[in-house]
Amino acid sequence: VADGTLHVAFGVTEPDAGTETPAIITRAVRDGDEYVVSGRKVWMTKASLCDKTLLLVRTTPLAEVARRTDGLSLLLADLQSPRVSITPISKLGRNAVVSCEVVFDDLRVPASDLVGEEGQGFRYLLDGLNPERILVAAEALGIGRAALRRAVQYAKDRVVYGEPIGVNQAIAFPLAESFARLRAAELAVRDAARRYDAGLPAGEHANLCKWLAADAAFEAADRAVQTHGGFGYASEYDVERYWREARLMRLAPIPQELALSYLAEHVLGLPRRYGR
């Protein structure tokens, strides 16, 4: 996977289970040396271009488990099979990668392609969530900075009523504010990445930096569109694309609400809301 010879997608989200992961209903039933998988995933990034997916399935029905997060397993399943149908989803942005709905119709997966122990999949999944949040936060920073750079340049170049629009504080201050917010988010991202690399607990830091960076990036992109006036709406200036890309970071891999929920529950010790 690391050297790019094997392409692996990530299949967790379903039509009726996004933030509520334990509600997934894609089933894997053991049959001899194989699992038989049936169900439907949505939003699987690059599924049509990947050989395999790391697939979250239910191996024990919800009604039979003590905790809702029990009975879930991770399989390394084939995507390029007649038992798998893949349909691209039309979307707002992120057109560099295809997002797919994927239907599994009795796909057979060798039991040797079970990751770790059966029923422990949710725990393995959690291990990957912090780095994913830190990574997406870093991505958001890049988009925010690109948008801000374009906005600043346009504010210097665009002349209205005989002067560059950037002399107006109503243009300059929001851009300065976005610069400050992006910089603060960057420090939080670096702090989270440093902790994760050092093997320290990073849940608080990963959620916090994802939340800060996603908001800072979207705000910067929105201000870049505003600074460009009507041209902000034209594809030619790219800022509408940054706006669409930055919007995604507030939704995925987890919505902003879920990042706040983590901080409220795990850091501030407030009563649990999600997964009650």
Residue 101 within binding range of ligand FAD, rule CB under 6 A = no
Contact indicator for 23, 63 with CB cutoff of 8 Å:
no
Cα→Cα distances 150→23, 128, 231, 240, 242, Å: 43, 34, 12, 11, 10
Site for ligand FAD in 34-93 (CB under 6 A): 43-45
Residue 12 within binding range of ligand FAD, rule CB under 6 A = yes
Q: Quote the least distance from Cβ 90 to ligand FAD, whole Å.
A: 11
Close Cβ partners of 271 (under 8 Å, ≥ 6 residues apart): 265
Considering only 94, 158, 190, 241, the residue that binds ligand FAD (CB under 6 A) is 94
Separation between Cα atoms, residue 249 and residue 252, nearest integer Å: 5
Considering only 111, 252, 263, 264, the residue that binds ligand FAD (CB under 6 A) is 252
Q: Quote the least distance from Cβ 231 to ligand FAD, whole Å.
A: 26
Locate 264 and state its tokens.
């409220």
Pick 29 or 92: Cβ nearer ligand FAD? 92
**Interface with ligand FAD: number of residues (CB under 6 A):** 22
Close Cβ partners of 256 (under 8 Å, ≥ 6 residues apart): 211, 214, 215, 250
Q: Quote the least distance from Cβ 123 to ligand FAD, whole Å.
A: 17
CA angle 189, 265, 192 (to 5 degrees): 15
b/e 48-81 (16+ beta carbons within 10 angstroms → b) = eebebbbbbbbbeeeeebeeebbbbbbbbbbbee
Considering only 185, 208, 221, 248, the residue that binds ligand FAD (CB under 6 A) is 248
Residue 23 within binding range of ligand FAD, rule CB under 6 A = no
Q: Quote the least distance from Cβ 26 to ligand FAD, whole Å.
A: 11
Residue 20 within binding range of ligand FAD, rule CB under 6 A = yes
Which of the ranges 5-13, 27-35, 77-85, 123-131 carries the binding residues for ligand FAD, by CB under 6 A? 5-13
Which of the ranges 14-22, 79-87, 184-192, 227-235 carries the binding residues for ligand FAD, by CB under 6 A? 14-22
Give SS3 for 4: coil
Residue 95 within binding range of ligand FAD, rule CB under 6 A = no
Contact indicator for 58, 25 with CB cutoff of 8 Å:
yes
Pick 226 or 256: Cβ nearer ligand FAD? 256
In DSSP terms, 8 is beta-bridged to: 52
Pick 186 or 219: Cβ nearer ligand FAD? 219
State the residue for tokens 């669409």.
244
Pick 45 or 48: Cβ nearer ligand FAD? 45
Separation between Cα atoms, residue 102 and residue 56, nearest integer Å: 13
Which of the ranges 57-65, 140-148, 198-206, 247-255 carries the binding residues for ligand FAD, by CB under 6 A? 247-255
Separation between Cα atoms, residue 101 and residue 106, nearest integer Å: 16
**Residues making contact with ligand FAD (CB under 6 A):** 10-13, 18-20, 43-45, 94, 99, 248, 251-255, 257-258, 273-274
